[in-house]
Chain A
Amino acid sequence: MEFCESTFLYTLSLPDSIMPKPGDTVKITTAKETFEGILMPRPDLLTPGITVIKLNSGYNLGIESKKITSVDVIEPYAAKTPVKTASAQDPRLPTVAVISTGGTIVSKIDYYSGAVSADYTAEDFIEMCPELKGIANIRAKKIMGIMSEDMDFSVYEQLAAAIADELKTADGIVVTQGTDTMHFTTAAMSFALQHLNKPVIFTAAQRSIDRGSSDAFMNLICAVHAAAKFKVGMVATCMHGDSEDDACILIRGTKVRKMHTSRRDAFRPMNENPLAKIWPDGKIEHLNTQYAKSHEKPLELKNQFEPKVALVLVYPGMDPGSIEYFVKKGFKGIVLAATALGHVPTFNPQSSLMQVLDKAAKKKIPVVIASQTLYGAVHPFVYTNLRKLSVERKCIFVHDMLPEVAYIKLAWVLARAQEYAVIKHMMQTSIAGEISERHQPGEFLI
């Protein structure tokens, strides 16, 4: 959150040198009373005209700025410089690199000044979770500080390069980021980091770390355990398995989705079982062995993406013009999150997508069909209308691939293939476990 200096600036005309600053201990006088406390910053978005001070009792109090006749600084704010002691390395332990990109899990606020600390070191993580010291030698690297909703393909390129770089010397990687689009990032990394032979574990927090109940602690501990000793060459998420602080689950980076706005266990495995359950004491229970243990070929960084790709939700009564926009704008590929088995409107002239899909085919823009039901697979042939898409308009049906994964993958494929047949082949071939051809009854709603 951005903070402005303080709102009473608008109502007081004091010289800068004596203008009180957030964090200063002040005496505020109004016509009727006086208040003593620490001047607090006020978020820009809130109604102006209120000055906030923290009283001795700890309570904040809002005073209408226009009532204030004077503000005297009793004691100016003195920022404390945190003392950071480098922690000793244990040669017997594996090395885990923790790469942070921003988000709730690494936000640290100075509640007196409102400033957000931007300097995360390994010691900060260890201070947060002293247990980490016994699991691995931690090496921390902050490569950016952005919210997950602001991530894009250039961020994915940068992140993949940073991971590849750290992998040269680390035994495993933990990446922390904001939760909202974490499943897009894990998909991007699953494709960008080819032939992984070490674990790349993503973790995050649904509750901020200022509260004792934050899920960040257990998530981070389990993620470091996984990075240190889960012997796989793949990208996976490590988050709460249920609402309890008992264990985390590891989910394949291409089969994971955030399925709840706020719960700790929002990240769920889609169309397959979680890979493993992992406890904060380091115990691992394998639940799904369908993954690459490690690759023989050396790691290959393929971190280019074609950003001109669209992901469009299909819905009743939609205007075909919304797809036409992308066709006209020169987009290189479109993913349709179609209904269930892969349907789109075909009959009503106002909403039928047939004409616009013809135009896309003519312009050789690949159109990929994934399902908005998220669970289950699309099918190119079971109904006539599906054949109109698959056979007549050459739409690419991608089985049980999640729409978000299909979007990331198409961007990745288009950065390395132009020919329709190659694109189709790559899209329909599982590269990082994004397509599973065998589904068990127990893989639904877990």
Chain B
Amino acid sequence: MNYKKLGFRCGLEIHQQLDGKKLFCRCPALNSANDPDISVRRRLRAVVGETGEIDKAAAYETARAREFLYVSHSEDTCLVEYDEQPPFPINEELLDVALQVALLMHCKIVDEVQVMRKTVVDGSNVSGFQRTALIAYDGWIETSKGKVGIQSICLEEEAAQKLEETKTTVSYKLDRLGIGLLEIATHTDIVDPEHAKEAAGVIGMILRSTEKVKRGLGTIRQDVNISIEGGNRTEVKGFQDLRAMPKVIDYEIQRQQKLVGEKKKIEKEVRKAEPDFTTSFLRPLPGAARMYPETDVLPVRITKERIAKIKVPELISEKTMKLGEEFGIQEALAQEIVKQKIDLKQWTQKYPKLEPAQIASVLIEIPKEMKSRLKIDPEPLKEKDFHEVLGALNEGKITKEAIIDILSARAQNKAVNLDQYKPVDASDIEAEIEKIIKEKPGLTIGAYMGMLMAKYRGKIDGQKLMELLKKRVK
């Protein structure tokens, strides 16, 4: 497809939850999984004089008809989420994270942060508005297809999570409400669907590089704005997997092309990405958001001194590249080492006789193999268990084949004797080969191999054993 010819315009909006305490209260950002122990019923109204007459009437009717049920657990909600206490000053640590990201994305930073109230009447904010502030603008990120401009970086409150909706009641869980959320909007510099996925990946990587973001399902959300010549802007949200993004965008282009072909009007709307890569109507795209100042929170000056003190973290992509170069390990392995924040240098210094790649493999791949091949959960393994096997391997006390057996035993809390995995001398094995041939002559090489493996499993490399056997048996 020639996307340029189609007049393809595409921009991203990424929402990322921040870790630590919430943005305007001192509750921890937990996304609590506990059963709710608080519940409150409320109603919302369209606020007088805020919108045009027709909008106001419509919004008023919608708001009046429904009741909102808010539930949460007390471990991560307080009176602030329930709109029963004014907000605390903005969480300065989260503001620093926003500034870090702004610097990593080469943005201009505002001189003074002004916290705004964005009117929201669907009940997802107990107060009826979302607090949000513009932190930085006019930046860029690097991708393989050129720079993608960053339009804005906003720091805002996460909304509550909808649980259920009936004609009369909408219920929300408030544990998520008020968690710091970074909203990163790109310019429409994205050239094709694959590029959208790449740019989203780069933004996600930059965010994770701060080490201050929340991880797990739903903690980062990508919205894509798409339009083609003759079409209209649609916003697609709810991608479960970044890998589905190019296909969903292609399908949306096709949907718009079909409508353009049929000379039908394409509405400005928000659409949901479905698992089959198609999209479905979610709601009309809101007009210019109604915003007014949050007078309960003082504006925050961003001084040059403050910006100078911000530590700009090294990007995960840079760290991975360096690690690969320094230790000669593959990219995938290096990525995992960075992700799990393993200090590989320290491990290699401690076990100098081992190859860094071998150490990395024991730390990363053995637990994965335990899980996938042996169905053993590696979770109970402690750092000391890895030191035990790598130390023994470094001193030649065990074979590398023994490692998965020993770690599996440790993970299952089973007794294990390391002496059992002592490497055996070639001469000992050769003597054993002589012995079994004498005892049971005339068997196939496979049968002898089976007998030897039963005795030496984990103590010698199978390939080596076969070599020795082949010397005696044809």
> Which positions in A face B, CB cutoff 8 Å?
1, 33, 40, 46-47, 50, 52, 54-64, 67, 82, 108, 111, 127-128, 130, 207, 209-214, 217-218, 243-246, 261-264
Question: Which of A58, A128, A130 touches B288 (beta carbons < 8 Å)?
Answer: A58
Contact call A108/B121, Cβ cutoff below 8 A: no
The answer, yes or no, to whether B24 is at the interface (CB within 8 Å) is no
Question: Which of B47, B82, B110, B114 touches A212 (beta carbons < 8 Å)?
Answer: B47
CB distance from A208 to the nearest CB of B (A): 8
Contact call A58/B289, Cβ cutoff below 8 A: yes
Whether A62 contacts B114 in the complex (CB less than 8 A), given A212-B63, A213-B42, comes out as: yes
Could you tell me the distance between the alpha carbons of A55 and B134 in the complex, rounded to whole angstroms? Answer: 10
Could you tell me the distance between the alpha carbons of A40 and B121 in the complex, rounded to whole angstroms? Answer: 25
Contact call B84/A62, Cβ cutoff below 8 A: no
Contact call B40/A128, Cβ cutoff below 8 A: no
The answer, yes or no, to whether B79 is at the interface (CB within 8 Å) is yes
Contact call B293/A60, Cβ cutoff below 8 A: yes
Contact call B127/A211, Cβ cutoff below 8 A: yes
Contact call B114/A52, Cβ cutoff below 8 A: yes
Encode B33-75 as 1/0 by CB contact (under 8 A) with A. Answer: 0000000111111111110000000001001000100000000
Give chain B residues whose Cβ lies under 8 Å from the Cβ of A59.
Answer: 114, 116, 132-134, 152, 154, 291
Question: Which of B110, B112, B114, B126 touches A213 (beta carbons < 8 Å)?
Answer: B126
The answer, yes or no, to whether B281 is at the interface (CB within 8 Å) is no
Residue on A nearest B111 in the bound complex, by CB:
A64
Give chain A residues whose Cβ lies under 8 Å from the Cβ of B117.
Answer: 210-211
Could you tell me the distance between the alpha carbons of A231 and B280 in the complex, rounded to whole angstroms? Answer: 56
Give chain B residues whose Cβ lies under 8 Å from the Cβ of A111.
Answer: 292-293
Give chain A residues whose Cβ lies under 8 Å from the Cβ of B410.
Answer: none
- B: number of interface residues (CB 8 Å): 51
Contact call A128/B83, Cβ cutoff below 8 A: no
Contact call A210/B301, Cβ cutoff below 8 A: no
Give chain A residues whose Cβ lies under 8 Å from the Cβ of B112.
Answer: 50, 52, 61-64
Identify which of residues 116-171 in chain B touch chain A, using a CB-to-CB cut-off of 8 Å: 116-119, 121, 126-129, 132-134, 138, 152, 154
Give chain A residues whose Cβ lies under 8 Å from the Cβ of B49.
Answer: 82, 108, 127
Task: Identify 7 new A-B residue pairs, CB closer than 8 A, beyond the known A56-B288, A212-B128, A263-B84.
Answer: A58-B290, A61-B110, A62-B113, A108-B48, A207-B83, A214-B47, A245-B43
Give chain B residues whose Cβ lies under 8 Å from the Cβ of A60.
Answer: 114, 116, 134, 291, 293
Give chain B residues whose Cβ lies under 8 Å from the Cβ of A130.
Answer: 60
Could you tell me the distance between the alpha carbons of A108 and B49 in the complex, rounded to whole angstroms? Answer: 9
Give chain B residues whose Cβ lies under 8 Å from the Cβ of A46.
Answer: 298-299
The answer, yes or no, to whether B380 is at the interface (CB within 8 Å) is no
Could you tell me the distance between the alpha carbons of A56 and B289 in the complex, rounded to whole angstroms? Answer: 9
Whether A128 contacts B48 in the complex (CB less than 8 A), given A61-B110, A212-B119, comes out as: yes
Could you tell me the distance between the alpha carbons of A289 and B129 in the complex, rounded to whole angstroms? Answer: 41
Could you tell me the distance between the alpha carbons of A12 and B239 in the complex, rounded to whole angstroms? Answer: 50
Give chain A residues whose Cβ lies under 8 Å from the Cβ of B47.
Answer: 209-212, 214
Give chain A residues whose Cβ lies under 8 Å from the Cβ of B138.
Answer: 33
Whether A33 contacts B111 in the complex (CB less than 8 A), given A212-B121, A245-B42, comes out as: no
> Which positions in B face A, CB cutoff 8 Å?
40-50, 60, 63, 67, 79, 82-86, 108, 110-114, 116-119, 121, 126-129, 132-134, 138, 152, 154, 288-293, 295, 298-299, 301
Contact count A vs B, C-beta below 8 Å: 121
Question: Which of B40, B116, B289 touches A244 (beta carbons < 8 Å)?
Answer: B40
Contact call B116/A58, Cβ cutoff below 8 A: yes
Residue on B nearest A264 in the bound complex, by CB:
B84
Give chain B residues whose Cβ lies under 8 Å from the Cβ of A213.
Answer: 42, 44, 83, 126-128
Q: Give 5 closest A-B pairs by Cβ, nearest first.
A: A62-B112, A212-B128, A58-B291, A60-B114, A212-B44
Give chain B residues whose Cβ lies under 8 Å from the Cβ of A47.
Answer: 301
Whether A263 contacts B116 in the complex (CB less than 8 A), given A58-B289, A211-B129, comes out as: no
CB distance from A183 to the nearest CB of B (A): 19
* A and B contact pairs by CB, cutoff 8 A, 8 listed: A33-B108, A59-B134, A60-B116, A62-B114, A209-B48, A212-B128, A212-B129, A262-B79
CB distance from B37 to the nearest CB of A (A): 14
Residue on B nearest A1 in the bound complex, by CB:
B295
Could you tell me the distance between the alpha carbons of A127 and B129 in the complex, rounded to whole angstroms? Answer: 20
Contact call A50/B42, Cβ cutoff below 8 A: no
Give chain B residues whose Cβ lies under 8 Å from the Cβ of A218.
Answer: 43
Contact call A212/B45, Cβ cutoff below 8 A: yes
Contact call A50/B129, Cβ cutoff below 8 A: no
Could you tell me the distance between the alpha carbons of A61 and B299 in the complex, rounded to whole angstroms? Answer: 10
Question: Which of B60, B118, B126, B128 touches A58 (beta carbons < 8 Å)?
Answer: B118
Contact call A50/B301, Cβ cutoff below 8 A: yes
Could you tell me the distance between the alpha carbons of A1 and B295 in the complex, rounded to whole angstroms? Answer: 9
Give chain B residues whose Cβ lies under 8 Å from the Cβ of A243.
Answer: 40, 82, 84
Residue on B nearest A213 in the bound complex, by CB:
B128
Residue on B nearest A61 in the bound complex, by CB:
B110
Question: Which of B42, B44, B154, B292 touches A210 (beta carbons < 8 Å)?
Answer: B292
CB distance from A240 to the nearest CB of B (A): 10
Give chain A residues whose Cβ lies under 8 Å from the Cβ of B119.
Answer: 212
Contact call A63/B43, Cβ cutoff below 8 A: no
Could you tell me the distance between the alpha carbons of A245 and B288 in the complex, rounded to whole angstroms? Answer: 30
Contact call B40/A62, Cβ cutoff below 8 A: no
Give chain B residues whose Cβ lies under 8 Å from the Cβ of A33.
Answer: 108, 138
Give chain B residues whose Cβ lies under 8 Å from the Cβ of A57.
Answer: 134, 152, 288-289
CB distance from B430 to the nearest CB of A (A): 79
CB distance from A50 to the nearest CB of B (A): 5
CB distance from B118 to the nearest CB of A (A): 7
Could you tell me the distance between the alpha carbons of A82 and B45 in the complex, rounded to whole angstroms? Answer: 21
Could you tell me the distance between the alpha carbons of A148 and B369 in the complex, rounded to whole angstroms? Answer: 70
Could you tell me the distance between the alpha carbons of A56 and B288 in the complex, rounded to whole angstroms? Answer: 8
Could you tell me the distance between the alpha carbons of A295 and B433 in the complex, rounded to whole angstroms? Answer: 117
Residue on B nearest A54 in the bound complex, by CB:
B291
CB distance from B138 to the nearest CB of A (A): 8
Give chain A residues whose Cβ lies under 8 Å from the Cβ of B83.
Answer: 207, 211, 213
CB distance from B152 to the nearest CB of A (A): 7
CB distance from B177 to the nearest CB of A (A): 13
Residue on B nearest A110 in the bound complex, by CB:
B49
Give chain A residues whose Cβ lies under 8 Å from the Cβ of B63.
Answer: 212
Contact call A244/B111, Cβ cutoff below 8 A: no
Give chain A residues whose Cβ lies under 8 Å from the Cβ of B116.
Answer: 58-60
Could you tell me the distance between the alpha carbons of A60 and B116 in the complex, rounded to whole angstroms? Answer: 7
Most chain A CB neighbours (cut-off 10 Å) among B40, B60, B117: B40
Could you tell me the distance between the alpha carbons of A76 and B183 in the complex, rounded to whole angstroms? Answer: 32
Could you tell me the distance between the alpha carbons of A127 and B60 in the complex, rounded to whole angstroms? Answer: 11
Contact call B84/A211, Cβ cutoff below 8 A: no
Give chain B residues whose Cβ lies under 8 Å from the Cβ of A54.
Answer: 291
Give chain B residues whose Cβ lies under 8 Å from the Cβ of A262.
Answer: 79, 84-86
Could you tell me the distance between the alpha carbons of A54 and B118 in the complex, rounded to whole angstroms? Answer: 13
CB distance from B304 to the nearest CB of A (A): 10
